[in-house]
Amino acid sequence: MTDISLEKEQKIADELERTFPNLTARVRRARRVMASLEKELIPSVLVHAKDNLGFHHLSHMSVVDWIEDEHFEMVYTLWNHEKRVQLTIKTMISRDNATMANIDTIWRQANTYQREMREMFGIEFPGFVGEKDFLLEDWDEMPPMRRDFDTMEYANKTYFSRPGREDAQDVRDTISKRNGEEVPDFAKKYSREK
Amino acid sequence: MPNDKNSQKIVDMITGFARSNSLFMLAYGTGCGDIEIPPAMTSRYDWERFGYRKMATPRQADVLLISGYLATKTLKRVIRSYEQMQEPKYVIGFGSCTINGGMYWDSYNTINMLDHYIPVDVYINGCMPRPEAVMSGLFELQEMIKRGDANGAQKYRENLEWYRANQKKIIKNWKMPDYNW
Amino acid sequence: MREKATTLYLGPQHPGITGNMMVKLKVEGDTIQSASTHVGYLHRGFEKLMERRNWLQSFTILCRICVPEPDPNEENFARAVESIEGREVPERAKWIRAMVLELARIGTYLLWFAGQSGSAGLYTMGQWSIGDRDYILDLFEELTGGRIYHMYIWPGGVRRDLPKGFKDKVLQTMDYLEKRLVQYDKLMFDNTIFQKRAKGIGWIDPAKAIEWGVVGAPLRAAGIASDVRKDDPYEIYDKLDFELGHATTSDVWGRSQVRRFEIEQSINMVRQIMDKMPEGEYYNRIPNPMKWEVPPGEAYVKTESARGEFGFYVVSDGSNKPRRVHVKGPAYVHAVTLLEDLLKGANISDVSFIMNSLGTCPPEIER
């Protein structure tokens, strides 16, 4: 639909670019604005968006591991209840010794997200006090959500596995072969072994 | 007379009958299988007809229903709850994930085979098993108790070292009291 | 007289807790001084598992993220993939999706009735409403083949068309549920015990609610009309006529009023959908799932689930597997920072009462 005007979205993008010269903002579609900038500016942009632009609600906060380029991508998603616009703010941080500014003084629910990121990705937030354990207990391996952590290898090493369940493939053939069962006719057409 | 084989058999039969018809089940929703328990216990399926009731405390319960996958953190609590239960006690493994890991077979945080950590008397497969399947598992358990086959607790006592070794393999920080009923 | 403070561990094995989680309380007498939520008992690592599975295999596991209401997960994932890929969805599929989501909302609210009244000691309500929820599960079973996990809404449309005679069954069930609502009112909402327990308990400051990340029924009960279906309409919600629940008391009573009203609205919406649903295709076929590659891109999509805004952040790097799927359930905020705050100064017996009113669902916190 092209007849929807993107006026309010464009205004927000312009306003952001005017205030922060290093920031690039663009309108993706109706009700979606995206901005990317350097890591150092993140807290001030978030405070500006919250206090002056009306983005009071932190919808979501996430991190993506781009292991090939050796960085993490931090993503903050804000929502403006009056104008009904979603603002996505992105930044890159280095993958080794990953640190990021603590924002739980701006939104206190960021506390939970940051606890999870610290545990799952090993990102440190200087000045952040939150309880250490969140989802895992007595974990002494690499943070599990990093791309180089192999969950299957860990599971094979740690847990017992029932024979016949070696891979992610269809197990019906394996089970029937092991038990010497006859595969019924209706099931044969789904069988992988022709 | 008290040591007579036949009279012992009769006593066993009567205790089996009595036990199988008043089973108190520990209300510990350990996994997503817990969502099919409310339908099974309320008006439509109503398992109370068959002598099952939910019990809030492990020390007063007879049956431990493991409803679905177990994260390692939960496994520790399950073992502790199981060891607090007094004999006779029975375990039902509910859902595919207790049998072979089900959907989460390659996950870093869920165990795959429940019977390597605590003894399981009856398995109910499916993801998610229907309330009818739950009930049929419960009937199976009742039949086993009547026959005297549901002796998981005895197995646990006799092979405690093996179970403990398996448990300690994944629970790194083992700070639990020893229960010796 | 000074009372000594003690630590009380509520859960994970506790019948008053919604699901498998633990609240650690510091209490003096039976007044709570401070609370902290401990989760992780249900952590399965879905986000990691999806990195190992291709797009269609991811679709089959992610409905298991939230057990009481799995459909918003499927809807979110389907919509995220469609928006990255630019795949068209047939008109009829959109209507069917909205119908499934509304039926799921009614079912979840009925389950919530049982929890909310059970934590106040009204056990009859649970016997009734869970029994009635089964009629909705029967509809789902006929439509999708599964009672709890449907795996029905997938990228490109829905998996099956409506079976023959399904429309009449849905309308019959809606008529029945509408009649039952009157009896629920008598049993729960007109009950003095429930009213006395619910009024003034678990108060959220309306001025702070948005900033604290409150969503869904608790936010609407604070007098702020906010709903993803209205604010950021998806599927065909802009073509439906419905109102949002509204209350200003911002306590447990207000939240239960909002939910009670929204069941009525959902019943009406299902009727409208059945009336207006167009004929035609229900599925825009995806390529061979084993070779299906989604172009690089990302999307944050959200759906109004029964507990509030349910968000998915999906990133694709152009391969046949998702790069990252981040799930944000409403309970992620409600049950941790918000619950810890609301429990300060509350009575021990109100813990599960407040927890239920926020729609706490542990599996979506830890995934």
- Compute mean pLDDT per 10 residues along chain C, 367 residues long, and list them: 79 78 87 87 87 86 85 90 88 90 91 86 87 90 87 87 89 91 88 87 86 87 86 86 85 89 91 88 80 87 88 89 88 87 87 87 83
Q: What is the mean pLDDT of residues A88-98?
A: 87
Q: Distance (Å, rounded) from C-alpha C127 to C-alpha B42?
A: 5
Partners of residue A144 in chain B, C-beta under 8 Å: 108-109
The shortest C-alpha distance from A33 to chain B (Å) reads: 36
A177: left (phi over 0), alpha (psi -120 to 50) or beta: alpha
Cβ contact, residue pair C309, A151, below 8 Å: no
Cβ contact, residue pair A64, C315, below 8 Å: yes
The shortest C-alpha distance from B15 to chain C (Å) reads: 29
Partners of residue A84 in chain C, C-beta under 8 Å: 231-232
Residue range(s) defining the domain that contains residue B28: 5-170
Q: Which chain A residue is nearest to residue B74, measuring alpha carbons? A: A137
> Rounded to the nearest 5 degrees, what angle is found at the Cα of C7, between the Cα atoms of C1 and C8?
115
In contact, C253 and C198? CB cutoff 8 Å: yes
Q: What is the mean pLDDT of residues A187-193?
A: 60
The shortest C-alpha distance from B164 to chain A (Å) reads: 14
Cβ contact, residue pair A165, B105, below 8 Å: yes
Cβ contact, residue pair C148, B35, below 8 Å: yes
Q: Over pLDDT 70: what percentage of chain A?
A: 85
pLDDT at C176: 92
pLDDT at C149: 87
Q: Is B138 domain-assigned? A: yes
Structure tokens that stand for C138 in this block: 């029967």
Beta bridge partners of A90: A36, A75
pLDDT at B147: 85
Cβ contact, residue pair B71, C12, below 8 Å: no
Q: What is the pLDDT of residues B155-180, one digit of tens each?
A: 888 888 888 888 888 888 887 777 66
In this structure, what CATH number is given to the domain that contains residue B41? 3.40.50.12280
Residues in chain B: 181
A57: left (phi over 0), alpha (psi -120 to 50) or beta: beta
Cβ pairs bridging A and C (under 8 Å): 81
Partners of residue B166 in chain A, C-beta under 8 Å: 160
Overall domain count for chain B = 1
Cβ contact, residue pair A155, B173, below 8 Å: no
Partners of residue B42 in chain C, C-beta under 8 Å: 114, 126-127, 130-131
Q: Which of C20, C115, C46, C105 has its CA nearest to residue C70? A: C105
Q: Is B178 domain-assigned? A: no
Q: Phi first, then psi: what are they for C314, rounded to 5°?
A: -115, 130
Q: What is the pLDDT of residues B87-106, one digit of tens each?
A: 888 998 888 888 888 888 88
Q: Distance (Å, rounded) from C-alpha C95 to C-alpha C162?
A: 11
Q: Distance (Å, rounded) from C-alpha C302 to C-alpha C310?
A: 5
Q: Over pLDDT 70: what percentage of chain B?
A: 97
Q: What is the mean pLDDT of residues A158-162?
A: 81
Q: Which residues are CB-neighbours of A153 under 8 A, at least 6 positions away?
A: none
Q: Is B179 domain-assigned? A: no
pLDDT at C267: 92
Q: Is the pTM of this model over 0.90?
A: no
When CB atoms are compared, the residue of B32, B77, B103 closest to C12 is B77
The shortest C-alpha distance from B20 to chain A (Å) reads: 31
Q: Is B181 domain-assigned? A: no
Q: Which of C19, C106, C109 has its CA nearest to residue C365? A: C19
Q: What is the ipTM of this complex?
A: 0.85
Domains of chain A plus CATH, in order, are 7-159 (3.30.460.80), 167-194 (no CATH)
Partners of residue A162 in chain B, C-beta under 8 Å: 99-101, 112-113
The shortest C-alpha distance from A179 to chain C (Å) reads: 27
Q: Distance (Å, rounded) from C-alpha A122 to C-alpha C16?
A: 34
Q: Which of B77, B49, B34 has its CA nearest to residue B135? A: B49
Residues in chain C: 367
pLDDT at A30: 78
Partners of residue C337 in chain A, C-beta under 8 Å: 108-109, 111-112
pLDDT at A2: 47
Give the chains touching B; criterion: ≥3 Cβ pairs < 8 Å: A, C
Domains of chain C plus CATH, in order, are 5-366 (1.10.645.10)
pLDDT at A80 over 60: yes
Q: What is the pLDDT of residues A113-146, one digit of tens each?
A: 888 888 888 888 888 877 777 888 888 888 888 8
Mutate to test the interface with A, among C52, C337, C344 (most CBs of A within 10 A): C337
When CB atoms are compared, the residue of C45, C134, C149 closest to B109 is C45
pLDDT at A1: 44
Q: Is B28 domain-assigned? A: yes
pLDDT at A168: 53
Q: Distance (Å, rounded) from C-alpha A91 to C-alpha B144?
A: 61
Beta strand spans in chain C (E): 5-10, 22-28, 31-38, 153-154, 157-158, 297-305, 308-316, 322-328
